[in-house]
Amino acid sequence: MTLPSNVTIIEVGPRDGLQNESKFIPTPLKIDFINRLSETGLSVIEATSFVSPKWVPQLADAAEVFQGINKKPGVRYPVLIPNIKGLEKGLTVGVNEVAVFATPSEKFSQKNTNCSVKESIERIAEVIAVAKTHGIRIRAYLSCVLGCPYEGEMAPEKVAALADTLFKMGCYEISLGDTIGVGTPLKTKRLIEVVSAFIPVNHLAVHFHDTYGQALANIYAALTQGIASIDSAVAGLGGCPYAKGATGNVATEDVVYMLQGMGIETGIDLRALLIVGQFISQQLGRKPYSKVNLAMMR
């Protein structure tokens, strides 16, 4: 078994981590949060999403946030884009990397995007066509890859087919998301084996929620399959507004601690990250969900 020597962490706290907060978080605080994350050694921070305020009110200030952050050289600040209208809004403020999203679950697609899987791919194709003309990099999220709140367990072959479609359309990386956190290590390993038959493993990432406490174990399983790109959220922030019961993302602090203990480089200053986790948790009025943060910051 050969593990990767370096792993890229995609910090999704400012977007996926905050989108489900019921109380609106002031724009200056969001900007401050991202600026603090930029000083921890993270190389990718997903800043916000240009989604309709009707569906995700928390991210109604996407343009102001993206324009307001200090964009540190060497750090990428992708944004989530649901459709062509969102892309057009992003272009007006200088967005240069976007993420699109889809799911192999027909029912989740209807709940999440109010359209079928086929229609969602058509929307994504439109976004990709325009993004390419502007030289914008496109990443793709796949939701519910190990289980869906409406359809149950998801067949790896179904996930692979959709991932293959998005990769061929021009997405440079496909992030496999366990949206409701039901995955376990052997199922994770099997999923990656099936998907990597279509897409080179260096173009795959993983995105685990920790609902059942399996996220770190699943990440380890993914590492053994050669995955070297991991989504996570500082302090374990997050949830999904369209997946009832889904808890936060795996905590970035916990992932970095595990990787450091395995001799895998991330470029991240764990101490600095712990401080940011404490900061945003205090602002939200609660303790971090990160076990490493709670243990090391006592």
> Which active-site residues does the annotation give?
240
Q: What is the token pair recorded at 157?
A: 């072959």
CB-count exposure of residue 76 (10 Å: 0-12, 13-18, 19+): middle
Given a contact cutoff of 8 angstroms between Cβ atoms, the answer to whether 47 and 69 are in contact is yes
Listed in sequence order, the DSSP H helices in the chain are: 27-38, 62-68, 84-92, 106-113, 117-133, 156-169, 185-195, 215-224, 252-261, 270-284, 291-296
Q: How many residues does the chain have?
A: 298
- CA-to-CA distance for 210 and 216, rounded, in angstroms? 8
| Residues 211 and 245 sit within 8 Å (Cβ to Cβ) | yes
